[in-house]
Structure 1
Amino acid sequence: MSKTILYARVSTADQTLTHQKTQAEAAGFTIDEVVADHGVSGISTRLADRAQGKRLFDMLRSGDVLVVRWVDRLGRNYQDVTDTIREFMRRGVIIKTVINGMVFDGATRDPMQQAVRDALIAFMAATAQAQAEATKEAQKAGIEAAKADAERYRGKKPSYDRATFTAVCDHLALGRGASEIAKETGLSRQTILRIRDQRADSEAALSRWGL
């Protein structure tokens, strides 16, 4: 009997296991089992090298559905993510994402559908790595800015917390428009544009306020 398994990678305090499971259920998934890795890097640690990531390779069978919040939960290294998704598809596993409801199924034999599917996998994996690198630089810049401003007034408190900031960055990485993101997050369009155009400054504002 096939199963629907949620894999969660919890690398920060904002990405709780409960939050990822709740998101999946809200999107209509009925989860049979949850597998989660805590405190591991998606950039430097391959899925197959993570304690619970290894379990996925052992437990997933043809017909099973693997649910992830987005492909960056599998990893933020382009080669690892693309290799992982293709390996699971070869085994007959269907991969589905909570964000945008993407479906990667190796069952199709139509060359055009295969080409579109593989191009999308490559694009999403590349986006995950690019976003990770941008976030790392933004965090570095935020820390430096926070140190420089330590003796100054912290300025206006951000209208968003770090979880919302992360969500906005996710949406921007997927190419969503500012108005659409504003509607979904409850932030103003101007705030979304500020995060998009001044990500390091937005990160620094969160750091100054300890958010």
Structure 2
Amino acid sequence: MNNSKSFFYARVSSSSQSVNRQIDCIKEYNLDIDERDIFIDSKSGKDFNRENFLLLKKVCRKSDVIYVKSLDRFGRNYQEIMEQWRDITSLGVDIVVLDMPLLDTRQNKDLLGNFVSNLILEILSYVSEQERLFIRERQLSGIISAKKRNVKFGAPKIQIDYHSPHFQHLYKSWKAGEIKTKYFINSLNLKPNTFYRRIKEYEKTLR
């Protein structure tokens, strides 16, 4: 009797990202996986301090199968991907990477099959890391180039017309204690920190 279970692991880099595209693979590939056997993390792949990933490794047993949509769900670092792959398979647990059919440890269990799978894994993991480093290097080069051209980063500075009747009326009423600070801030549609910086900036022009 086969008592093996199937699990699905999904990961997104932040809580603002959607995991639906990964979860949809379960239906797309007609996988028989119970909802309670789906493990999801929403943290960066820079490390493996991920609660559900660690829990999955604890609950899976020999002959179980872990499905992932893509290899980089195990991490974004060549060494970490290899370590996690070997750690899981050493337990007798199979791994299936859905978008890379060759990475299916259920197939070709013989020595040659394992050799080919491990070779493919090493190549893909290495390429994945090199691509990540290339993207980071290109972004850094772009930032350096932009700074040389005096390109400003971040949100544009909120401009206030200090000479407008609207601002002048609010400022004088505020200084006279006729209106509260909160009312002044809301009238200018500013955040408190920005408000105080702008007031300080304006008052320097009065000296």
Is the structural similarity TM-score above 0.5?
yes
Check the 8 A contact 1:78/1:126 in 2, yes or no.
Answer: yes
Distance 1:70 1:91, change over 3 A: same
Per-residue CA deviation, residues 125-175 of structure 1 (Å, 9 max, x unaligned), is: 212212222333344456677886979xxxxxxxxxxxxxxxxxxxxxxxx
Distance 1:140 1:27, change over 3 A: farther
Amino acid in structure 2 at the alignment position of 1:115: F
Bigger mean CA offset, 16-25 vs 102-111: 102-111
Deviation at 1:99, TM superposition (A): 0.9
Check the 8 A contact 1:90/1:106 in 2, yes or no.
Answer: no
- In 1, the alpha carbon distance for the partners of 2:145 and 2:99 equals 32
Which residue of structure 2 lines up, in the alignment, with residue 77 of structure 1? 77
Which residue of structure 2 lines up, in the alignment, with residue 88 of structure 1? 88
Distance 1:116 1:14, change over 3 A: farther
- In 2, the alpha carbon distance for the partners of 1:149 and 1:67 equals 48
Which residue of structure 1 lines up, in the alignment, with residue 121 of structure 2? 121
Distance 1:22 1:107, change over 3 A: closer
Check the 8 A contact 2:11/2:40 in 1, yes or no.
Answer: yes
Per-residue CA deviation, residues 98-132 of structure 1 (Å, 9 max, x unaligned), is: 21334332785533222111101111221221222
**Structure 1: runs of 5 or more not aligned:** 152-211
- In 2, the alpha carbon distance for the partners of 1:31 and 1:144 equals 48
Check the 8 A contact 2:103/2:120 in 1, yes or no.
Answer: no
Check the 8 A contact 2:12/2:18 in 1, yes or no.
Answer: yes
Deviation at 1:56, TM superposition (A): 1.8
Distance 1:103 1:37, change over 3 A: same
Which residue of structure 1 lines up, in the alignment, with residue 52 of structure 2? 52
Which structure's CA Rg is the greater one?
2
Amino acid in structure 2 at the alignment position of 1:100: M
- In 1, the alpha carbon distance for the partners of 2:97 and 2:133 equals 21
Runs of 4 or more consecutive aligned structure 1 residues displaced over 3 Å after TM superposition: 12-15, 106-109, 137-151
1:9 aligns with 2:14: no
Match for 1:30 among 29, 32, 38? 32
Check the 8 A contact 2:7/2:65 in 1, yes or no.
Answer: yes
- In 2, the alpha carbon distance for the partners of 1:14 and 1:143 equals 25
- SS of the counterpart of 2:39? strand
Per-residue CA deviation, residues 166-205 of structure 1 (Å, 9 max, x unaligned), is: xxxxxxxxxxxxxxxxxxxxxxxxxxxxxxxxxxxxxxxx
Amino acid in structure 1 at the alignment position of 2:111: P
Relative CO higher for 1 or 2, CA cutoff 8 Å, sep ≥ 6?
1
- In 2, the alpha carbon distance for the partners of 1:15 and 1:135 equals 20
**Structure 2: runs of 5 or more not aligned:** 153-207
Give the paired residue count. 147
Amino acid in structure 2 at the alignment position of 1:18: N
Distance 1:9 1:144, change over 3 A: farther
Amino acid in structure 1 at the alignment position of 2:38: V
Bigger mean CA offset, 29-38 vs 5-14: 5-14
